[in-house]
Structure 1
Amino acid sequence: MKKKQPDTNIPQHEIETVARCLLPEIQKFFESTEGKKEFEEWKAQRAKETEKERSI
């Protein structure tokens, strides 16, 4: 019997199949100019939020 993810009824092999399909596309996005720009914007936003939380 295959292990299931916690709190789901989705078999692990199905999750892994979907992940194998999505991972190359996610990697391509983050290697692209647009993906790098969005990631830098996200990091800057996250840093602002973290700084705001520390000052409270």
Structure 2
Amino acid sequence: MARKKKVNDYGTGIPYHEVEALARVLLPEIQAFFESEEGQREFAEWKAQQEQNKVKQD
């Protein structure tokens, strides 16, 4: 009797192949955003905010 391989969906209930297909569509768009001027600016702002939060916690 063949056993069915259990696939970890990390509790989402979404089949792995669907998550992978979505990632293939989204990844290039995310990369393009972070390579753009707007993405670079937003990332710099986020980084500065993270540093401020780190200082406040210390």
TM interval, shorter chain, is: 0.7 to 0.9
Bigger RCO (CA 8 Å, 6+ sep): 1
Which has a greater percent of helix?
Answer: 1
Conserved in 2, the CA contact under 8 Å of 1:30 and 1:36? Answer: yes
TM-score, L = length of structure 2: 0.85
Task: Give the 3-state SS of the residue equivalent to 1:4 in structure 2.
Answer: coil
Unpaired runs of 5+ in structure 2?
A: none
Rg (Cα) greater in structure: 2
**Counterpart-to-counterpart distance in 1, 2:24 and 2:11:** 21
TM-score, L = length of structure 1: 0.88
**Counterpart-to-counterpart distance in 2, 1:4 and 1:15:** 12
1:16-55 → structure 2 map (5 Å cutoff): 16-54=20-58
Number of corresponding residues: 54
Unpaired runs of 5+ in structure 1?
A: none
Q: CA RMSD in A?
A: 1.3
Structure 1 segments of 4+ aligned residues over 6 angstroms from their partners: none
